[in-house]
Chain A
Amino acid sequence: MSLYTPSSPHMHADTSIAQVMSKVLLALLPGIAAYVWLFGWGIVVQLSFATLLALGAEALMLRLRRRPLLPFLTDGSAIVTAWLLCLSIPPIAPWWITAIGVLFAIVLAKHLYGGLGYNPFNPAMVGYAALLISFPAEMTAWQAPQPLDLAQAASLIFLAPPREVLDAVTSATPMDFLRTQLGLDKTVDEVIAHSPLFGYLAGKTQEILNLMFLLGGLWLIKQRIIGWQIPVAMLASLAIMAAVFHLYDPERFASPAFHLASGAVMLGAFFIATDPVSASTTPRGRLIYGAGIGILVYVIRTWGGYPDGVAFAVLLLNICAPTIDYYTKPRVFGHGDKD
């Protein structure tokens, strides 16, 4: 019998991309549970629909690109993309919004760039940005915090309900609300104190969601699926920016706590900015990359034209990632300080 003679090492850790992706999905579950509790079953409908669509699109593209189906369909990366996109758009967004977003992410942002591992931009965020620019009305009609049952949610998503029905179940996000009110010369404290939208730190629903994504994210760090650098740098820089401006003028600029508990911050910090393919990979590079995102999130939120800035901040830093990596190469063992 001829012997098997592969190259060393002959031992491998029990790990795989599928394992990594499943852990990411698992870490999203607390946040998803909070969604269901706060908003009802809309998110579950969206996630199921998006998952099927993403796998279908992935299979089609793999077939077109003549890649083996099984290893790539089971690697979980398409599902992660689909879920992150769903968690970024309103839970009762019409089905075609989800469909366009998923197809954009999988076909364009992922496979046309070469598939898994080759996409320079975070596919979910490319899909989200495309949707936000193309369909701003649907994308900003956030669901009011009231739990819908499965039938209600499904009909809202798939049956194109009339405008009045939709208006009854949607409302501005707390951050949107704050922004418009600040535009009317109210102070931050006034707005937050006089609206039922707000809870302890920020939007009532948002602070809960952010807490849940934070918990999932911390678990990912503990599992060594993601490094601590990007989330910590992003949250720290966002908090520092907010603190500086809040100290300068607390009436016009919300507190760091408000910013940390608002919008897609925790989802962004632990699940989106940490997408390894499109992020920086050197230890110092990850700090710079995360910090850059945090600063941009604050800038876009405060002075930009969009309610939240995570998607654009991540995409902008995706562009910088290769350059950041190039200039932050670690000092190799035995090479002195200069190189």
Chain B
Amino acid sequence: MKRELFSFTGGIRFDDYHKRESTRQAVVAAPLPARLVLPLHQHIGEGGEALVQPGDKVLKGQPIARAVSYVSAPLHAPTSGTVVKVGDEKVPHPSGLSAPCIVIEPDGEDTWAPRQSHARDYAEMNPSALRNLIREAGIVGLGGAGFPSYVKLNPGHNPVETLILNGAECEPFITCDDMLMRQRADEIVKGSLIIRHALGARQTLIAIEDNKPEAIAAMRGAVQRLAPEHTEVVSVPTLYPAGGEKQLIYTLTGKEVPSDGLPVHIGVVCQNVATTGAIFRAVYHGEPLLSRWLTVTGGVAEPRNLEVLLGTPVDELIRFCGGKPERCRRIIMGGPMMGFALHAHDLPVIKTTNCILVDDGRQPDLAGRQYAMPCIRCGACADACPVRLLPQQLYWYAQAGEFDRCQEYHLFDCIECGCCDYVCPAHLPLVQYYRYAKGEIWKRERERQQAELARERHEFRLFRLEREKKERAAKRQQKKAALAKETSAQGDAQAKQAAIQAALERVKAKKARQTRENTPPEQGDS
């Protein structure tokens, strides 16, 4: 029986996906570089906290940074060596800024720290322990977003019906998931069983775009061998962005993830195939996430996929594939639609790096943006939008600075897939406008919150001052009253005494008068 699929609106069918170039050669390990630079923050959420100091010797797989909060991930030494620096280095980020990193000089021995396999007993482990194992292995989404995987494996109270393995790999040029599925199908399927156990999901759907027949065949073979029940490899139409999480879920289930919700709220959890492979290695071999497969393609002599240690500088990979880093016009980390252009040649590979796309000025499909004309409202963008937004309106309001309107037109539902930008005949940098508008809105929101906080503080201060004033006044009043009472008490005593004195005086005087009257006059009228 053929599974019913649903088609999301919009999307792009590219003329040339440029996938053949990099799938001709076998995947090999990239040479060990002289220096590995490991940013503490290479995932969504909070960056890790360094556990090592310069001079420390580390073993392969030894934790070198720990997760600091729920949405965070630890980091491990990709090979044995010496920590030479813990501090700011240039990192691969669209901002081009520097961030805290751990720098390791490999010793070439590649000596492993002790590992523990749970190949036999993971089925007896409870989901929480399993999640912890995956968390400690530092595994984050390897498809590009980099969300800590164990968080997704915690469905809370939501029952999970379906686990979707995302092998769509819908962006042009990228082929690392394709190659992984061809060559390590068994590991991915075993990994899916681990995840399904952690989630208690009923079925697994492995979605692969139909332009990857070899991967589909390999995965079907592995499913047949290892998990013939409740697991199905589904060939989905090649249509960018079919691998977008919400788009893929819709394609397979016909259900839309609510705008303000998560896939798990409709009973679905999505994991990338490479992430699933990493989970397999963590559970079966006790290997944390130390390396990944990635595609080096575009303007290099030998486009191919490599197994690369995290922290390896990009220029060494380009050189290894026969490219000349100094001749690059642009180096894109990620795909041509959603990747970002690097600010330096020697930035390190991180957990989310799935592709190094080299533009040496001779790639016709990476020609660069032409002169931007005014929007003619042709609506090609709206036809291409997989979220059914009106990109022409969002652009209009973003450039006019009317951010309330942007939100009214659901700017934050934009997934920045770039479809609108790709088809725009006016060559407008639409996605850049949306990022700018989102940034401005966040900034305003923060400012508003800060202003709110400041207002509350100020009001509380006024209230406190008022209260203190009142308290002081009350105290003063009290004191005064007390003082007044005291003085009046003293006064009473004096008055009494005075009265007594006066009375005594009066008595004395009276006595004296009486004595004088009673005494016969010494001389008198007798």
Residues of A within 8 A of B (CB): 1, 3-13, 15-17, 19-20, 71-72, 75, 77, 115-118, 224, 227, 276-277, 279, 281-283, 325, 329-336
Contact B376 A334 (CB under 8 A): no
Across the interface, which residues of B come within 8 angstroms of A17, CB to CB? 373, 376, 425-426
Which of B246, B336, B342, B378 makes the CB contact (< 8 A) with A3? B342
Contact A3 B344 (CB under 8 A): yes
Contact B373 A116 (CB under 8 A): yes
Contact B410 A20 (CB under 8 A): no
Across the interface, which residues of B come within 8 angstroms of A227, CB to CB? 379, 383
Which of A3, A7, A276, A325 makes the CB contact (< 8 A) with B376? A276
- For the complex, give the distance between the alpha carbons of A117 and B392 in Å: 11
Contact B392 A281 (CB under 8 A): yes
B427 within 8 Å of A (CB atoms): yes
Known: A5-B96, A116-B376, A277-B376. A332 touches B370 (CB 8 A): no
- For the complex, give the distance between the alpha carbons of A9 and B340 in Å: 8
Query: Which of B126-134, B185-193, B413-421, B448-456 faces chain A?
Result: B413-421
12 residue pairs A–B, Cβ–Cβ below 8 Å: A7-B435, A11-B365, A11-B418, A15-B423, A72-B373, A116-B373, A281-B382, A332-B388, A332-B410, A333-B387, A334-B413, A335-B259
Say which size band chain B's interface belongs to.
35 or more
B343 within 8 Å of A (CB atoms): yes
Known: A4-B330, A20-B425. A71 touches B377 (CB 8 A): no
- For the complex, give the distance between the alpha carbons of A11 and B424 in Å: 11
Known: A333-B387, A335-B410. A117 touches B375 (CB 8 A): yes
Residue in chain A with minimal CB distance to B409: A329
- For the complex, give the distance between the alpha carbons of A5 and B369 in Å: 12
Across the interface, which residues of B come within 8 angstroms of A20, CB to CB? 376, 378, 425
Contact A7 B431 (CB under 8 A): yes
Please give 11 more A-B residue pairs, beta carbons under 8 A apart, in addition to A117-B377, A335-B410: A6-B429, A8-B340, A9-B337, A11-B418, A12-B367, A17-B373, A117-B426, A282-B382, A283-B382, A329-B409, A332-B413
B256 within 8 Å of A (CB atoms): yes
Contact A334 B256 (CB under 8 A): yes
Across the interface, which residues of B come within 8 angstroms of A9, CB to CB? 336-338, 418, 421-422, 431
Contact A3 B341 (CB under 8 A): yes
B316 within 8 Å of A (CB atoms): no
B326 within 8 Å of A (CB atoms): yes
Contact B388 A333 (CB under 8 A): yes
Residue in chain B with minimal CB distance to A16: B425
Contact B427 A336 (CB under 8 A): no
- For the complex, give the distance between the alpha carbons of A75 and B96 in Å: 36
Across the interface, which residues of B come within 8 angstroms of A11, CB to CB? 14, 172, 336-337, 365-366, 418, 422
Residue in chain B with minimal CB distance to A328: B390
Residue in chain B with minimal CB distance to A282: B390
- For the complex, give the distance between the alpha carbons of A6 and B370 in Å: 12
Across the interface, which residues of B come within 8 angstroms of A75, CB to CB? 373
- The smallest beta-carbon distance between B397 and chain A, in angstroms, is 12
Known: A5-B342, A12-B367, A332-B259. A281 touches B379 (CB 8 A): yes
Residue in chain A with minimal CB distance to B433: A7
Known: A116-B373, A276-B377, A333-B413. A10 touches B390 (CB 8 A): no
B349 within 8 Å of A (CB atoms): no
- For the complex, give the distance between the alpha carbons of A89 and B329 in Å: 52
Instruction: Enumerate the 5 nearest inter-chain pairs by beta-carbon distance, A residue then B residue, closest first.
Output: A9-B418, A117-B374, A7-B432, A334-B259, A11-B336
Contact B340 A281 (CB under 8 A): no
Across the interface, which residues of B come within 8 angstroms of A282, CB to CB? 379, 382, 390
B386 within 8 Å of A (CB atoms): yes
Contact A8 B378 (CB under 8 A): no
B151 within 8 Å of A (CB atoms): no
Residue in chain B with minimal CB distance to A72: B373
Residues of B within 8 A of A (CB): 8-9, 12, 14, 94, 96, 172, 246, 250, 256-259, 261, 326-332, 334, 336-345, 357, 359, 365-371, 373-380, 382-383, 386-390, 392-393, 409-410, 413, 416, 418, 421-427, 429, 431-432, 435
- For the complex, give the distance between the alpha carbons of A17 and B372 in Å: 10
Which of B172, B341, B344, B392 makes the CB contact (< 8 A) with A6? B341
Across the interface, which residues of A come within 8 angstroms of B366, CB to CB? 10-11
- For the complex, give the distance between the alpha carbons of A322 and B371 in Å: 27
Across the interface, which residues of A come within 8 angstroms of B393, CB to CB? 325
Which of B8, B259, B329, B422 makes the CB contact (< 8 A) with A4? B329
Across the interface, which residues of A come within 8 angstroms of B435, CB to CB? 7
- The smallest beta-carbon distance between B323 and chain A, in angstroms, is 14
Across the interface, which residues of B come within 8 angstroms of A77, CB to CB? 376
- The smallest beta-carbon distance between B155 and chain A, in angstroms, is 19
Contact A117 B376 (CB under 8 A): yes
- The smallest beta-carbon distance between B440 and chain A, in angstroms, is 15
Across the interface, which residues of A come within 8 angstroms of B389, CB to CB? 332
- The smallest beta-carbon distance between A38 and chain B, in angstroms, is 32
Across the interface, which residues of A come within 8 angstroms of B375, CB to CB? 117
Contact A10 B373 (CB under 8 A): no
- The smallest beta-carbon distance between A216 and chain B, in angstroms, is 18
Residue in chain A with minimal CB distance to B334: A8
Contact A13 B259 (CB under 8 A): no
Across the interface, which residues of B come within 8 angstroms of A5, CB to CB? 96, 330, 340-343
- The smallest beta-carbon distance between B385 and chain A, in angstroms, is 9
Contact B359 A15 (CB under 8 A): no
Across the interface, which residues of B come within 8 angstroms of A335, CB to CB? 258-259, 410, 413
- For the complex, give the distance between the alpha carbons of A8 and B336 in Å: 7
Across the interface, which residues of A come within 8 angstroms of B330, CB to CB? 3-6, 10
Across the interface, which residues of A come within 8 angstroms of B246, CB to CB? 333-334
Known: A3-B344, A10-B359, A282-B382. A16 touches B338 (CB 8 A): no
- The smallest beta-carbon distance between A158 and chain B, in angstroms, is 34
Most buried by A among B258, B367, B377: B377
Contact B369 A6 (CB under 8 A): yes
- For the complex, give the distance between the alpha carbons of A75 and B372 in Å: 12
Contact B373 A71 (CB under 8 A): yes
Residue in chain A with minimal CB distance to B345: A3
- The smallest beta-carbon distance between B353 and chain A, in angstroms, is 15
Across the interface, which residues of A come within 8 angstroms of B94, CB to CB? 7
Contact B422 A276 (CB under 8 A): no
- For the complex, give the distance between the alpha carbons of A74 and B341 in Å: 31
Across the interface, which residues of B come within 8 angstroms of A330, CB to CB? 382, 388, 390
Residue in chain B with minimal CB distance to A336: B258
